[in-house]
Amino acid sequence: MDSTARNIALVPPPDRRQSETALAIARGTARLLRSLGFTCISELPLPSGRRADLVALNERGEIWIVEIKSSVEDLRADQKWHEYRAHCDRLFFAFTQDLPCEIFPQDTGLIIADAYGAHLHCEAPEHKLPAPTRKQMTVRFAMAAALRINRLVDPQGHADFWE
């Protein structure tokens, strides 16, 4: 039984918007998040219209957003990260050990990462989401994850769906 689904990679190819450094940071950070009991999804569209680099969800329903920064210039050019706080319980920046921690906002958590792993350098302050926002983000997370799986199984059948 020959199926085209068998030939589809379990991990979609990169969409080419991220640098190799950003992709490595995302990979290491995702490994850390899994070790902390979270599952994560990359490039999740938020209700505000922005896209979060990584959104993590644990079994208690806690939602973390991680903004990936690959350079000082990347951080300086980013004026949208403040908007992510409205969609998570904790907000983090993830970056390589080459960047100084002092350049990041003090009211965010810090994760230092490379392609193989990461460590939580500084815990993020908690700001609990209102219940309706938590539900909206949890449903958005689940829908995006299910659509990505469905696209792997049936790429032609899901080309027009939202994400």
The tens digit of pLDDT for each residue in 37-62 reads: 999 999 999 998 899 999 999 999 99
Give the pLDDT score at 8: 37
> And the tokens for 92?
């983090």
Q: How far apart are CA 139 and CA 147, in angstroms?
A: 12
Its pTM stands at 0.85
Q: How far apart are CA 39 and CA 67, in angstroms?
A: 16
pLDDT band at 148 (very low <50, low <70, confident <90, very high): confident
95 close to 69: Cβ distance less than 8 angstroms:
yes
| Helical spans, DSSP H, in the chain | 20-35, 72-77, 131-153
pLDDT band at 158 (very low <50, low <70, confident <90, very high): low
Higher pLDDT, 147 or 17: 147
> And the tokens for 23?
């992709």
51 close to 40: Cβ distance less than 8 angstroms:
no
Please tell us whether the domain made up of 20-153 is placed in CATH 4.10.410. no
